[in-house]
Amino acid sequence: MSVLPLAGSQSAARPTGNRAASSSARSPELKALPKIRRRQRGLMAGVLMLLIAALGAVLATNIYVANAQYEVVQLTNEHRELVYQNQALTQQVQFLESPQALSNSAVTIGMVMPATAGTFDLSSGEIVSGAERASSSEVPSSFVSSPTSVNPEPSAVDVTDPALTSASGLLGTGALYTLSEPTQGDNGSGTDAGAQRSETALRGGTIPAPDLTD
Amino acid sequence: MARTLSLRMRIGLAIVLALLVVLGGRLFHIQGLDPAGHAHQAVSNRLHTVELPAARGDIVDTQGRLLAGSADRYDIVADPRLTGDHTVPDAELGMQRPVTVEQTAEELALLLDADSAELLEQLTADDTHYATLARNVTPEVHQRIMELRVPGVYSEPVSERTYPSGPVAGSIIGFVGSDGPLEGLESEADEALSGEPGERIYEVGADGVRIPTATYEEVPAEDGQDVRLTIDQDVQWFAQEAIADKTSEYNAQWGNATVVDLREGREGEILAMADSETVDPSDPAETDELFRRPLALTQDFEPGSGGKSVTFAAALEEGLVEPESEFTVPYRMSVNGESIQNARSHADYEMTAAGIYARSYNTGTLMIGNRLEEQTRYDYLRKVGYGEPMDIGLGVEGQSILRPPEEWDRRQPLTTQFGQGYTGSVLHNVQLYQMLAQDGVKHPLRIVDAHLDPDGDEHPVSAESERIFSSETSQEMLKLMEGVVDYGSAMGAQIEGYRVGGKSGTAEAAGAAGGFDGYTVNFVGVAPLDDPQFVVSITVHRPAGEFGDWDLTNTFSDIMTHTLTSYDVAPSDAESGAYDGFVGQRQDYPW
């Protein structure tokens, strides 16, 4: 700012020496700014609208992504829970399918070891071997111990109760969770699910971050 | 605007420019060149690498039933520097609720079923940064612990092996210790089962949240291959029950029942390798060390009369004897000053070679075996597998001790003819009967059927077969074996509707202090003889009682019948092809 007066005095001194030259030159023609034509005005408005629309879209996408992230976290948790539950159930089935377990179940429902089966030769119509009656005392021995279950609490995966109360076809506590908790995240409304989440889960924000560590 | 600048202005501008250049240079130095590695350090501070463990492959039986699998578990660990009194948000109160470390320990103790005092000690220890509170916790318990939100208590995902069939085939599958696989296939096939772990690299900001736009790399883990065994879980279980029953009946030290498949395309596949007692891979410490590895490989013993099959097959192969060649068989005879006798005293019998085999007379066997050179007999013993370790792909080799003829003592040229003076494992014996039953062709026994890639590609494990005996010898040997079951030493092995052949054997068991102080009794049988499908071997070591008290044939016929019916082998009711045992009409001479 302090330079301006100095520059102003210099330019004020200059015209005195150059007057002849400046008079011979054509004086600059003064022109009004070109009129913006109606069409161009429309274009400008269009561009502006587009910008606003883009901004709006970006905002909307952002909000949507943020909300979706919230949902993804919840769905991931649910998925993980279901995977574990499925794994536990599969294991239960595998343990129950072991030959010892099958043999024990067979004995408890009164089954006995088979006796000789009768066989026919279909081509000659002959009886190859006669069938014998199974003896009721012939129960399978149980020298081989049953497998040690890794799931000491079978109740943990007992789905019968949840299945009874479950409204839809979904089973298990994971399904119950979706019934009791709304699945859609309501970001920023500050009243329901978001507010109930603890600070550690939100890590200072309003949306729980995807947890990559487990 | 002024056209020129005053001197002071210029100087000022120059200084400013110079400073700018210095600053720019410094900026370039720090940002561009980064000699102190600050930027690198910053990135590496933010970078987190998480290992993605590869899923360990499963071990399945021949029909794809799971024998060993993996389940997701968590180790619960604590950093005692960070644990202590803390607050947790309480949804009901709507505010933070204080929790003391003692309360934490009690809550954890309840969930982990552990002692709260011990946990408290671990949570408050000041000499460590890492304390393992619990291992292999189920996801459900893990989740409940994480819900406590205790600072300093973390979880580490681990994979635990599960064995849904418990002790069924336990010694074959082996087990895994806390530091890695220890025994059996878990150890032998570890490389294939393990796979390659992957990793996930990402940047984390100061608040602990991943920076979404920063580096994110994921190298996926390559899961391990599954291993499919030739074992049939059901047959294995049945055989384990049967042999445990027999072993307990005779109060023996151990017993083994082995079933081998002879069906086309599956020759030499071990369907069951059952021990009288088997380790449960989930709890190996519970079982005596003897039973933690497959007995069919770890134990070698004299095959006894079973070894006569090599002598007979060799003599038939060399054309030195026919099944109906006639011999006068005494109870006792002396060769080179060594006296050899049969198990029970009897009169001199006019017998066929088939009869000698069926009644398992040592003297008669010598008459046939002595027609062969020592070296030739030794060579046949080696060819069928004795004297060589037996490897079926399980990491445990079956041992067999057979000295060359020049190292034999005075009795060994005789005793080796009837299965004494050398040892072999159960599988050595089974291999012999496998080749006798299958046209004289040796199909090496094996227990691993295929390795399966995670995408389902199969890599079958196969072995080269080798002809040892001619087809004719094999056919004749089957008829000799049928005589053993028809009228010989193992009549209890008969199964209605099927032609069954086999050979029993009893040999003295060497004691720890030298000399013999017990017996090893065995029986190996094949059925049906018109088209052999299975070999079943029963062995019982050191049964209580006196020589001659033991009979394994009912265990054999139980297991064989079960296997035949399980695999839909129809009875044929075909005529026996056994040769007469005695010369002349009369066949019922006393034993």
The DSSP string of B527-555 is E-TTS--EEEEEEEES-SS-TT----HHH
Average pLDDT over residues B474-497: 92
B25 lies within 8 A of chain A by CB: no
Q: Tell me: do B203 and B54 sit in the same domain.
A: yes
- Is there a contact between B165 and A98 if contact means CB atoms under 8 Å apart? yes
Least CA distance to B205: which residue of chain A?
Answer: A203
Write down the pLDDT at residue A206. Answer: 52
Q: Is residue B209 part of a domain?
A: yes
- B248 touching chain A per CB within 8 A: yes
CB nearest A143 (choices: B1, B138, B245): B245
Are B385 and B348 within one domain?
yes
- Whether the per-residue pLDDT at A156 is higher than 70: the answer is no
Q: Is the pLDDT of residue A182 over 50?
A: no
Our CA-based measurement puts residue A96 at a distance from the nearest CA of chain B, in whole angstroms, of 8
pLDDT at B423: 93
Task: Give DSSP secondary structure letters for B260-316.
Answer: EE-STT-TTEEEEEEESS---TT-GGGS-GGGGS-HHHH-EE--GGGGHHHHHHHHH
In the prediction, which pLDDT does A149 show?
Answer: 64
Domain of B302, CATH number, reads 3.40.710.10
Give the model's pLDDT for residue A84.
86
What pLDDT band is residue A113 in, cutting at 50, 70 and 90? Answer: confident
> Out of A6, A143, A205, whose CB is closest to B244?
A143
User: Are B271 and B374 within one domain?
Assistant: yes
What total number of domains does chain B contain? 3
Q: Which residue has the higher pLDDT, B567 or A17?
A: B567
- pLDDT band at residue A11 under the 50/70/90 scheme: very low
Structural domain includes residue B436: yes
B99 vs B318 pLDDT, higher one: B318
Residue in A144, A156, A204 closest to B241 by CB? A144
Please compute, for residue B483, the number of CA atoms within 13 A of its CA located in the half-sphere on the CB side. 25
Query: Mutating which of B138, B159, B254 best tests the A interface, going by the most A Cβ atoms within 10 A?
Result: B138
Q: State the average pLDDT for chain A.
A: 68
Closest Cα partner for B560 from B504, B513, B508, B500?
Answer: B500
On the question of pLDDT at A100 being above 50, the answer is yes
- Tell me the mean pLDDT in the region B97-115: 86
Do B401 and B496 fall into the same domain? yes
Shortest Cα–Cα distance, B375 to chain A (Å): 46
Nearest by CB to residue A99, choosing from B71, B165, B561, is B165
Higher-confidence position of B557 and A118: B557
| Same-domain status, B479 and B415 | yes
Bridge partner list, B98: B87
Dist. CA B212–CA B210, nearest whole Å: 6
pLDDT attached to residue A25: 60
- B147-166: average pLDDT: 85
Q: Do B571 and A119 touch (CB under 8 A)?
A: yes
- For A35-65, the pLDDT digits (tens) are 666 677 788 899 999 999 999 999 999 899 8
- Asked if residue B558 and residue B418 are part of one domain, the reply reads yes
pLDDT of residue A199 exceeding 60: no
Verify that B490 and B421 share a domain, yes or no: yes
Higher pLDDT, B556 or B212: B556
pLDDT bin (cut points 50, 70, 90) of residue B586 is: confident
B280-314 pLDDT tens trace: 998 888 889 899 999 999 999 999 999 999 999 99
As a whole number of angstroms, the distance between CA A40 and CA B186 comes to 78
Q: Which chain B residues in 268-327 lie under 8 Å from chain A, judged by CB atoms?
A: 278, 280, 282-283
B575 in any annotated domain: no
The reply to whether residue A128 touches residue B497, judged by beta carbons under 8 angstroms, is yes
Distance CA A95, CA A88 (A): 11
Mean pLDDT of B77-104: 81
The answer to whether the Cβ–Cβ distance between A88 and B202 falls below 8 Å is no
Identify whether residues B324 and B459 lie together within a single domain.
yes
Q: Are residues B26 and B195 in contact, defined by beta-carbon separation less than 8 angstroms? A: no
Nearest to B275 by CA among B301, B222, B239: B239
User: What's the pLDDT at B49?
Assistant: 85
Nearest to B571 among A6, A129, A151 (CB): A129
CB B538 within 8 A of CB B523: yes
Chain B neighbors of A148, CB-CB under 8 A = 166, 280, 282-283
Q: Give the percent of chain B with pLDDT over 70.
A: 99
Domain annotation covers residue B496: yes
Residues 139-198 of A with CB under 8 A from B: 140-148, 150-151, 153, 156, 196, 198
Model confidence at A13, pLDDT cuts 50, 70, 90, reads very low
**Residue A88 contacts B where some CB pair is shorter than 8 Å:** yes
In chain A, what percentage of residues exceed pLDDT 70? 54
| Residues B140, A88: C-beta atoms closer than 8 Å | yes
Check residues A72 and B90 and name the one with the higher pLDDT.
A72
Residue B383 lies in a domain: yes
Chain B CB contacts of A87 under 8 Å are 71-72, 139
- Report which of B157, B80, B82 is spatially closest to residue B125, judged by C-alpha positions: B80
Query: What's phi and psi for A155, nearest 5 deg?
Result: -60, -25
| B47 has a pLDDT exceeding 70 | yes
Statement to judge: residues B248 and B315 lie in one domain: yes
Is the pLDDT reported for residue A169 higher than 50? no
Which pLDDT band holds residue A191 (cuts at 50, 70, 90)?
very low
User: Which of B360, B355, B358 is CA-nearest to residue B328?
Assistant: B355
Structure tokens given for B200: 């996930």
Do the domain assignments include residue B128? yes
Q: Nearest CA of chain A to the CA of B438: how many Å?
A: 26
Nearest residue to B396 via CA among B445, B338, B334: B445
Q: What is the pLDDT of residue A181?
A: 38
The type of residue at B414 is: L
Give contacts of B573 with chain A, Cβ < 8 Å: 121, 126, 128-129
Mind listing the pLDDT tens digit for each residue in B170-195?
Answer: 999 999 887 888 889 999 999 999 98
B272 with B373, same domain: the answer is yes
Residues B172 and B255 in one domain: no
B241 → closest Cβ in A116, A143, A196: A143
Contact state of A147 with B283 under an 8 Å Cβ cutoff:
no
Mean pLDDT (chain B, rounded): 89
Band (pLDDT 50/70/90 cuts) for residue A172 is very low
Interface list for A 18-77 with B (CB within 8 A): none
Minimal Cα–Cα distance from B415 to chain A, Å?
37
**Which DSSP helix (H) or strand (E) runs through B426?**
helix B426-437
- pLDDT confidence of residue B25: 92
Contact assignment for B496 to A129 by CB distance below 8 Å: yes
Domain residues for the domain of B255 are 233-277+296-566
Q: A117 to chain B: which residues are within 8 Å by CB? A: 565
The alpha carbon of residue B90 is apart from the nearest alpha carbon of chain A, in Å, by 8
pTM of the model: 0.78
**Chain B contact probe: residue of A6, A86, A144 with most B CBs at under 10 A:** A144
Distance from CA of A172 to the nearest CA of B (A): 13
B342 and chain A in contact, CB less than 8 A: no
pLDDT in tens, B387-441: 999 999 888 899 999 999 999 998 899 999 999 999 999 999 999 999 999 999 9
Asked whether residue B580 is domain-assigned, the answer is no
**Chain A residues with beta carbon closer than 8 angstroms to that of B500:** none
pLDDT number for residue A207: 52
Identify whether B416 is part of a domain: yes
pLDDT (tens digit per residue) in B342-367: 888 889 999 999 999 999 999 999 99
* Mean pLDDT within B31-49: 80
Q: How confident is the model at residue A196 (pLDDT cuts 50, 70, 90)?
A: very low
B156 and B174 inside one domain: no
In Å, what is the CA distance from A211 to each residue of A207, B301, B402?
A: 12, 60, 64
| Residue with the larger pLDDT of the pair A190 and B563 | B563
Taking the C-alpha atoms of residue B498 and residue A114, their distance in angstroms, rounded to an integer, is: 18
Q: What integer pLDDT is reported at residue B270 of this predicted model?
A: 95
Over the stretch B257-272, which tens digit does the pLDDT of each residue have? Answer: 999 999 998 999 999 9
**B2, B143, B166 ranked by CB distance to A100: nearest:** B166
Look at A87 and B72 and tell me if their CB atoms are within 8 Å.
Answer: yes
Greater model confidence, B490 or A163: B490
Q: How far apart are CA B166 and CA B182, in angstroms?
A: 17
Tens digit of each residue's pLDDT (9 = 90 or more) over B204-254: 777 666 776 777 888 888 999 999 999 999 999 999 999 999 999 999 999
How confident is the model at residue A154, as a pLDDT? 44
Residue A119 has pLDDT above 90, yes or no: no
- Interface list for B 51-110 with A (CB within 8 A): 65-66, 69, 71-72, 88-89, 91
